[in-house]
Chains A and B, each alone.
Chain A
Amino acid sequence: MSMQDAVARFVRDGDTVVIEGFTHLICFAAGHEIIRQRRRDLTLCRLTPDLIYDQMIAAGCARKVVFSWAGNPGVGSLHAFRRAVEGQGGLEIEEYSHFGMVARFAAGAAGLPFWPLRDYAGTDLPRANPRIKAVACPYTGEALATVPALNPDVTIVHAQRADAQGNTQIWGLLGVQKEAAFASQRVIVVVEELVDERVIRSDPNRTLIPAMIVDAVVVEPWGAHPSYAQGYYDRDNDFYVRWEAISRETARLESYLDEFVYGVTDRAAYLKKHPGLTARLEAKARISAGVNYGF
């Protein structure tokens, strides 16, 4: 399925949308298509909103952001996010810590209403977010923090490879993609490479997301840039640094969106606008030896 079709069919106005991936495998291609199709009133959830949600906030897609760390990693601020929160932007926020967000996805994926965790004692986070509550352990009486399950309408996961049915393999940093996908009503998988089912079956331990929970498979090489895909391409740290200046001024950010999001139809067109990019970031080979699955 094309990215255009997948977003048109599975991402709707007002949806709770998750594009996960912790630094690794963040699907910018899907975020850009959501911007192009002008989705509105989305509740955007991610541990780290990153540049992709900064762009989606700037483009007017978001009503609310649910998160645990909203910065530009190693660089500084997400300026569109900050403008929307510090000023009269009217962007709603719901804030946790990383463990809290992970636990929310874990509860959603396990079919439970909440998740207990030993956290938040002595912090101001429960005061800032009344959805962080506490429960007494029925066995010991210990007070444990709780967070509510997060069950997104749609989760979008970028991956190295999947077969046509959507059996999806990821290696490198795994983030919370498995939990987010299992917690979600609908799942779109976007891959660098479509492979035969035999390739998946040759290494089943590497499958993170099974086809039974996947609604659409989109093949979009370099779809995670400026994030990265282990074994395919490196993170574009230079772009993350450049985002600081681009996002600081509304006009500059808008002209970025005009040129690189609205101004292209898909990832292939986006790549054409970045000559030299693939040569600069292509990964070197570090092949794993593999294991014997015989019996």
Chain B
Amino acid sequence: MAVVAARELRDGEVVFVGIGLPNLACNLARRTHAPNLVLIYESGAVGAVPDRLPVSIGDPALVTGSLMVCGMADVFQLFLQNGKIEVGFLGGAQVDRVGNINTTVIGPYERPKVRLPGSGGAAEIAIHARRVLIVSKLSPRAFPERVDFITSPGERVQRVITDKGVLEPDGPTGELVLTALYPGVEPADVQAGVGWTLRCRPNLAQVAAPAPADLRLLRDELDPQGLFLKT
């Protein structure tokens, strides 16, 4: 997933980076095909070049050597609301048929079955980043027909990168449809992890397997302890 997500990033783009797999994907892209990718973290690091895997979004390694460090009012107003962010990377406990994300509650808001962390910056990232990419593992619980709570609206979602294939919005409703499969995966395998009847685009694309060099970079240098790769 990290490799497929990295391929979505173009050299020179400004990307708002979330923690976990999005962070790995961005740093992989920066070390391979997109050396001029500008990584912005909501904690205030702009043009960060972390030389260890940041466990949290506020890791001190994001500060050392970065181009700019600013307060969070500047991050959200001058960069995000002002339209300077090209790509926003989000994950989520639930992603629904039209790409809405829930990171707030499972069950009713007032009496939650599971209380999740909440929005953080995810609501405004989904609203202001020009392209929104979602990275999430497939399962019927993670991909229900409708999320229990809309934390981040799905309007700007362009790709949902899963562990078996890629979904994209289709037509005026923005319904997510299957557009590409990983090697050795059938559409039925993807359907098994999605809670609605998944439509497939004709002529499904085949996602190329990760290059050995990318895997080596991920496993040996970017996440040697397997903090995020194991998932």
| Residues of chain A having any CB pair with chain B under 8 Å | 22-24, 47-48, 67-71, 73-74, 77, 81-82, 85-86, 95-99, 102-103, 105-106, 117-125, 127-128, 171-179, 228, 230, 234-235, 237, 240, 283, 286
Q: Are B119 and A68 in contact (CB under 8 A)?
A: yes
Instruction: Out of A48, A68, A121, A176, name the residue touching B73 (CB < 8 Å).
Output: A176
Which chain A residues lie closer than 8 Å to B62 at the CB level? Answer: 173
Q: Are A98 and B58 in contact (CB under 8 A)?
A: no
B159 proximal to A (CB < 8 A): no
B210 proximal to A (CB < 8 A): no
Q: Are B43 and A173 in contact (CB under 8 A)?
A: yes
Q: Are B150 and A97 in contact (CB under 8 A)?
A: no
Q: How far is the CA of A70 from the CA of B119 in the complex (A)?
A: 9
* Smallest CB gap from A127: residue in B: B109
With contacts A124-B149, A175-B72, A176-B71 taken as known, whether A99 is within 8 angstroms of B80 at the C-beta atoms is: yes
Count chain B residues whose beta carbon lies closer than 8 angstroms to a beta carbon of A. 49
Instruction: Out of A70, A103, A173, A176, name the residue touching B63 (CB < 8 Å).
Output: A173
Instruction: Out of A23, A85, A106, A283, name the residue touching B56 (CB < 8 Å).
Output: A23
Within 8 A of A (CB), among B1-57: 19-20, 42-45, 55-57
* Smallest CB gap from A177: residue in B: B71
Instruction: Out of B70, B71, B117, name the residue touching A71 (CB < 8 Å).
Output: B117
Instruction: Out of A71, A74, A122, name the residue touching B150 (CB < 8 Å).
Output: A122
Q: How far is the CA of A125 from the CA of B109 in the complex (A)?
A: 10
Instruction: Out of A85, A96, A122, A240, name the residue touching B127 (CB < 8 Å).
Output: A122
* Smallest CB gap from B118: residue in A: A69
Q: How far is the CA of A88 from the CA of B151 in the complex (A)?
A: 24
27 CB contacts below 8 A, A to B, read: A22-B44, A22-B72, A23-B57, A48-B120, A68-B120, A69-B117, A70-B118, A86-B112, A86-B114, A95-B104, A98-B119, A98-B121, A99-B124, A117-B77, A118-B128, A122-B127, A124-B150, A125-B151, A128-B149, A173-B44, A173-B58, A173-B62, A174-B70, A235-B55, A235-B59, A237-B56, A240-B55
CB distance from B161 to the nearest CB of A (A): 20
* Smallest CB gap from B121: residue in A: A98
Q: Are A24 and B58 in contact (CB under 8 A)?
A: yes
B94 proximal to A (CB < 8 A): no
Q: Are A99 and B121 in contact (CB under 8 A)?
A: yes
Q: How far is the CA of A99 from the CA of B80 in the complex (A)?
A: 10
Q: Are A22 and B63 in contact (CB under 8 A)?
A: no
Q: Are A74 and B117 in contact (CB under 8 A)?
A: no
Q: Are B72 and A118 in contact (CB under 8 A)?
A: no
Instruction: Out of B64, B76, B109, name the residue touching A128 (CB < 8 Å).
Output: B109
With contacts A74-B55, A117-B81, A175-B44 taken as known, whether A97 is within 8 angstroms of B122 at the C-beta atoms is: yes
With contacts A82-B115, A97-B124 taken as known, whether A172 is within 8 angstroms of B60 at the C-beta atoms is: yes
CB distance from A175 to the nearest CB of B (A): 6
> Top 10 nearest A-B pairs by Cβ distance?
A23-B58, A122-B153, A71-B117, A69-B120, A73-B56, A97-B119, A97-B123, A74-B55, A99-B76, A174-B71
Q: How far is the CA of A230 from the CA of B62 in the complex (A)?
A: 11
Which chain A residues lie closer than 8 Å to B116 at the CB level? Answer: 71
Q: How far is the CA of A179 from the CA of B70 in the complex (A)?
A: 13
* Smallest CB gap from B151: residue in A: A123
CB distance from B58 to the nearest CB of A (A): 2
Q: How far is the CA of A125 from the CA of B152 in the complex (A)?
A: 9
B170 proximal to A (CB < 8 A): no
Within 8 A of A (CB), among B113-158: 113-124, 127-128, 149-153, 155
Q: Are A286 and B64 in contact (CB under 8 A)?
A: yes
Q: How far is the CA of A73 from the CA of B123 in the complex (A)?
A: 18
B69 proximal to A (CB < 8 A): yes
Q: Are B124 and A175 in contact (CB under 8 A)?
A: no
Q: How far is the CA of A37 from the CA of B179 in the complex (A)?
A: 59
Which chain B residues lie closer than 8 Å to A95 at the CB level? Answer: 104, 118-119
With contacts A98-B120, A122-B153 taken as known, whether A86 is within 8 angstroms of B71 at the C-beta atoms is: no
Assuming A172-B60, A174-B44, A237-B56, what are 19 further A-B pairs, CB within 8 angstroms? A69-B120, A73-B55, A85-B115, A86-B114, A97-B123, A97-B124, A99-B124, A102-B73, A103-B73, A119-B123, A119-B127, A122-B127, A123-B119, A123-B151, A124-B104, A124-B109, A173-B58, A173-B69, A176-B73
Which chain B residues lie closer than 8 Å to A124 at the CB level? Answer: 104, 109, 149-151
Instruction: Out of A48, A128, A172, A175, name the residue touching B104 (CB < 8 Å).
Output: A128
Most buried by A among B19, B60, B70: B60
Which chain A residues lie closer than 8 Å to B80 at the CB level? Answer: 99
CB distance from B72 to the nearest CB of A (A): 5
CB distance from B45 to the nearest CB of A (A): 7
